Structure 1
């Protein structure tokens, strides 16, 4: 059982995944940063939803490396799912699953902004067991393990509560990627005492919450590869999260939306009180 791995086995697995993530970034992502040719950038579902050759090749490399690290595991990657949505069924299966976003923040990557990340999460039967959030252009590596805490470059992360008396800073679903119904569901955050702004890389926004640099996120979509790593990172840093139904976020989908993750339970409750269900 993956949950029963002893500390030595977990340490070896974590080191192997760390190496795999860094290698994929070094060989497939960073050589193309600010070097992409136009033909290496493709629209998926619209002008703001981009994929590059770096996304595809990094995911292919990570898929091979991660399944070798943990025999019998499977990969649910953003680009593979785009090609075959049936792959999502693995999120509800019995095999350990690696959830991979090779370049979270592709738009930033394409425009030469260093605020993008590679996200990898290990899950089993719906539980988030470990995650890696790597921002190669910023040289940041955050790691979380269920029940084992969260670190950033080896230093323990603790969210801590928001500063009393100050506006609650919230990163929300970017306007370019939201429907009118989603915008309406999030509109209650535009109120006194709350300062919403559009999110960048979801993975890095979660990291900002875990670091205590951002008070909360509120999102209206549920792609597992965007959220799994960050939700575990925030939880292990002492934060909290919930859907608008007051339930834990399910990586296999079917969540009531929007949902939030924040530095503490009180902030989660306050954010939820301002949201409405996506119509």
Structure 2
């Protein structure tokens, strides 16, 4: 039975089990049956050959949109594929109503190539603040969750990002060149320096999970789409990490950020990476 929750706080206290059920159902019915089974006609390009969408993306988002909107009366859903079809729907991220931010398959490129490194991202935000998040990697059978002020967990185990070991090169996952402007490319070049090991990122959601786990030190991303970042930003924050733009301000899911920005295991690492990005630009 679906209960009526009057506030987002009430929902977060009593209703979040329905979110996990909705995510697992969408993955089991729309995503995993197509994993390594995609036909050519089920894969399409959006803005170019590096921006792919599949039937799994579309159908999982439809299923999630229907389920999540019912869980919290008055909430709205912003999904990647719906925004691609109608960009105006993205404005709900900046509105006052509780908003579900959904990326049905984060890491579509990996999904298409049969790589298990993809995930479903769901977050719940209001007034530009992410209140809860879910990162589900169905091929890896991993579920990471976070609530603001309540901690970050992977399969029920508390996550602590910790700090990088002293005198070790920083491992930093960065935007692919085809997602960056010339100015952003110059900023990212600032990471090609002694003491830093930059590499191209995989699924953004899983890179954030790796930071929360303490197995990746930082990211440097050059795009703002909330569906890629909202869930992971909260996960990292609740694990003890932080995020900064290259001008030293926290990243805002509502946009208008100085890019690239970094998310890191601790504040010292975030400030170091942000400084290198500012110097590169």
Q: TM-score, normalised by structure 1?
A: 0.96
Match of 2:9 among 4, 27, 51: 4
Offset from partner CA, 1:105-134 (integer Å, 9 cap, x none) = 000000000000000000001010000000
Give, in angstroms, the shift of residue 180 of structure 1.
Answer: 3.0
Are the counterparts in 2 of residues 132 and 142 from structure 1 also a CA contact under 8 Å? Answer: yes
User: What SS is found at the alignment partner of 1:248?
Assistant: coil
User: What SS is found at the alignment partner of 1:82?
Assistant: helix
Change (3 A) 1:146 1:188: same
Match of 1:189 among 191, 194, 199: 191
Q: TM-score, normalised by structure 2?
A: 0.95
Offset from partner CA, 1:242-272 (integer Å, 9 cap, x none) = 1112112111111111111100000011001
Q: Which residue of 1 aligns with 2:3?
A: none
Rounded to whole Å, the distance in 1 between the matches of 2:280 and 2:253 is 18
Gaps of 5+ in 1: none
Check if 1:152 corresponds to 2:154. Answer: yes
The aligned runs of 1:11-160 (5 Å cut-off) are 11-160=13-162
Q: Which residue of 2 aligns with 1:269?
A: 271
Give, in angstroms, the shift of residue 94 of structure 1.
Answer: 1.2
Rounded to whole Å, the distance in 1 between the matches of 2:198 and 2:265 is 15
More divergent stretch after superposition (222-231 vs 244-253): 244-253
Give, in angstroms, the shift of residue 85 of structure 1.
Answer: 0.5
Offset from partner CA, 1:15-57 (integer Å, 9 cap, x none) = 1100100000000000000000000000000001000000000
Rounded to whole Å, the distance in 1 between the matches of 2:7 and 2:23 is 20
